[in-house]
Structure 1
Amino acid sequence: MYMAKVIGSVVSTQKDPSLVGKKLMIVQPIDSNKNPIRSEEIAADSVNAGIGEYVLIVKGAGARKADAKNKDNNRVRDVNDCSIVGIIDRFDK
């Protein structure tokens, strides 16, 4: 699991069927001091995060499991490699 800040959104009219109906957000991975690390990524939003919010993201197999059902609650093949799975309320050190 990683921390990131949502910095934008992506609109795609042509995409894999497993991504239909999912909100795609641009996320900037961050460290615990909220400093940017690495480059931006696209993440499927499963928690309705908004631009400017700090979020938890998962990558790889964890991301596919987070979004493994379609809008009719049926299991689907998922091409997703990065998912937003939580919104960070605060950072405590």
Structure 2
Amino acid sequence: MKLARVLGTVVSTQKDPSLTGTKFVLVQMLDAAGNDLPEYEVAADCVGAGLTEVVLVSRGSAARQISSKDRYPVDALVVAIVDTVAVGNDLTYSKRDVSR
């Protein structure tokens, strides 16, 4: 899994039938300190993440292994909304910190 920040939404009216009702978001990957990396990805969102929230993104075959779908053709899936990130004894991200 990787840390990412939700930048926006992606809308697609024509898609594989198994993706009907799926929300897609554009995410920017982050390093452990919460700094932006130059990598973007479109991910399906199964947790209802909002704009600017820090999330965990599962990628590859793990992204297709959710219990509610038999066939789910995605390569990236938002699986959690992050509350805090700590590296060692340093808190590098807190959802309560509105300045981020």
TM-score class, shorter-chain normalisation, is 0.7 to 0.9
TM-score normalised according to structure 1 size: 0.86
Structure 1 unaligned spans of 5+: 70-74
Residues 7-36 of structure 1: per-residue CA shift (max 9 Å, x gap):
100111001112110000000010011112
* Equivalent runs, 1:21-60 vs 2, <5 Å: 21-60=21-60
Between the aligned residues of both structures, percent identity stands at: 45
**Match for residue 13 of structure 1?**
13
How far, CA to CA, are the matches of 2:50 and 2:36 in structure 1? 18
RMSD of the alignment, in Å? 1.3
Partner amino acid, structure 2, of 1:53? E
Structure 1 runs (4+) deviating above 2 angstroms are none
The TM-score normalised by the length of structure 2 is 0.81
**Where is the strand percentage greater, Structure 1 or Structure 2?**
2
Between the two structures, name the one with larger relative contact order (CA 8 Å, sep ≥ 6): 1
Q: Which has the larger radius of gyration?
A: 2
For this pair of structures, how many residues does the alignment match? Answer: 87
